[in-house]
Structure 1
């Protein structure tokens, strides 16, 4: 595409967005009827069970279902897809990530069955390099939420009397396997860790870069793990990482970069936005305040929010800018 054609395409695209935005603002807002809400609710339920049943029938205990072959995807067995596979650790990722959804849908019988499967089949002592971020939010978060919900259901309904806190024990196991990633000069975690050997490999020791979202999306799960187990190290490590990130913001703009060096604390990519690579850091600042009641996180969120609105929010668009703007 020629440069002039590219410019024309961009102009048309932006103009369309602006017109659409004006139409949305000017039209009267119409609320959905109860029947429409019920219809959409059931459609969402059907979509969930289509995916869940397909996984359980064709892929479990693999991490994922491969939709074309209807087979399970295992690390080290299935064809490698590069970095995208770092979310998988041969620990039944899809099932762990789905546990709390079963409770939201009110399917307590299947939830109890799924919890039993996780307790019986899942092991984390695997010689596999995984994403610290993905393992934290999906595996550690999934185990913790399922434990909390099980405890709640036991007290409310008296169900699952056989459960004795096994998911919390598994969550603590995962937490300890993630802790070696925090052994950096800044306290900001490595992007990846070996579930069995920690950081003891050349591939990991020399991989010094991580994104802001990966580094700043640990505090919720780690703090919850500490509060539930009484072991403070998880929360302390996550607080230290968040404090280090806050010190790395640009003092003039309060914006964050996207990629950084975990040892030197230098920014590798100084572009700032609200998309992939940085988004959940802002989210975790606010949610850390909500969960922990620590005002410093609310202050940080407000400072970042004001910076985003001043430099990044341009009309209906959110643009990437240089953090030192």
Structure 2
């Protein structure tokens, strides 16, 4: 199957397997002549059937077309080979905006996810539109419980986090977490020097498939970091580090951590922690119940101290984390072609 036919089938599939000619044409980003030719070819191969009038035709993908689309993607059951279907979870509007810009995401009512492609693979993006573990858990569980939802092969929590400079973490670094230490509850204890929280942390082990990709020789860390420095205007002398392996841990909290004492208490409760974030604990709580694997990839936008990051670092760190994810999919694509 040629590239344009694959794009056509992906476009129809993203719209529910039946869609108007004009809408599919817009998603394929082809000239009118190219689009007519690829539709004619897809019909002749039995991948697509046409319905409606000549003035307002619609396209329906056949069962053979769905099988061909799976082969074109190099995937099992409509997902990425070795991973399955991808669902990306983001919490903040600027994170969603960045993915829309990079991946050409679109959404049509009543869909709650945004759809598009990343490195040739189909992706769905579920936004929470606000920060917090509880909000993330509710949004994810509602999505997984919806009757028409395809169970994801992998959920990737993608966005920004705070890092602990005591562990050598810097702004712009990317943490691929292997453990999420979920701060679900705590107890206040009174002592001679005042009240202190007693943390009750639940540890979630994160899916390790991204970890294996980042640890492989196929992932060129120097090239990835060089592209980030070049494209995202890193300050002179600054270069992102991909923190992966070694039990990389993020603590999932409900509060924005911006005090030295709070950060010190968290590090004392979980010494392996490299930073904090606010949604992965909720996503993992929901997905664990449904037996859906989760990966967590975060760009460090601040150092969880009183000097919180500005918007420039938030955007730069998000983009650097997204770039790492895109490079991971490139490794998968190369492995499929090879």
| TM-score of the pair, normalised by structure 1 | 0.24
Greater share of helix: 1
Greater RCO, 1 or 2 (C-alpha within 8 Å, sep 6+): 2
Greater share of strand: 2
| TM-score of the pair, normalised by structure 2 | 0.23
